[in-house]
Amino acid sequence: MRSAAFLYAALLAVLPQVQPRYCGEQKMPHDQVAPFPEKEPKSFTECAAHKYNPTLHISHGCSPYPAVNIDGMVSGGLKATGKANGNCAGAALGDQVYARSMWKYHHWAIMYAYFFPKDSVVSGKGHRYDWEWVVIWLNNPDVNVSRIEAVSVLGREVERYNFVDIDPKYFADGVPQLEYEAHGDRHFVTLSTDIGRSPDLVVWHEMSDHARCALNKHGWNENELMPMSDDKFEKNLERAWNAKLRSAK
């Protein structure tokens, strides 16, 4: 019996360990969440998501971090204390931007969503977690004929800018430039004249089932779902298209 038990233990030692899978019910430290690696785009929709992936300049606050790993474990975020970018000035394992797209209002709508471990302009004020998003409206997902028709930005409120009303200074090589900055006691994403960088992009359907499950079910601030979850995605596109029109000249 003892020899059999010894052999069994030895066998377990050499067998590959199977990682448990989750659906958002398990949290992990924000700086230990591994991002999904950026893949070479193949389809029209993937190519469009990559081509128009905005640059993001961080002028204040945290850098973007992965929100979920391949096994469906989600980021535990950070308390709204300390410096605005305390313990979140850069993801050592790699940053992430999430993309999801569909036809809406006769346009090809691509949503890009960014996750930040905390939103705290002043220590002790703010909240754990911050999701920011933008929508780029194209005439067609085929990059051979596509063009930007409008850009919707979630700032202090959702705002839509028709392409003709956006100054070229807010673009670099045809890609919108965004900035994560402080407004009062909150951080928001706005159009920017500063060139940032594009975080590693993962398209919604490229993620594991467990990761999508987690993003569909896990509640963040006040149990709010992430902006491109199944329950929120199309509703947010409606908000983005019907937002107040602005000019960025």
Provide long-range contacts, Cβ within 8 A and 24+ apart, for 88-92.
Answer: 88/30, 88/61, 88/62, 88/63, 88/116, 88/117, 88/118, 89/62, 89/63, 90/63, 91/31, 91/35, 91/63, 91/64, 91/65, 91/66, 92/31
pLDDT tens string, the chain, 249 residues long: the values are 444 444 434 433 443 444 568 897 899 999 999 999 999 999 999 999 999 999 999 999 999 999 999 999 999 999 999 999 999 999 999 999 999 999 999 999 999 999 999 999 999 888 999 999 999 999 999 999 999 999 999 877 889 999 999 999 999 999 999 999 998 889 999 999 999 999 999 999 999 999 999 999 999 988 899 999 999 999 999 999 999 898 987
Q: Helix (H) and strand (E) counts for the chain?
A: 4, 13
Tell me the C-alpha distance between 197 and 95, whole Å: 10
pLDDT at 6: 42
pLDDT at 20: 61
Token couple for 31:
């700086």
Domain ranges within the chain, ordered by starting residue: 2-248
Residue 188 three-state SS? strand
Cβ–Cβ under 8 Å, residues 228 and 236: yes
pLDDT at 10: 42
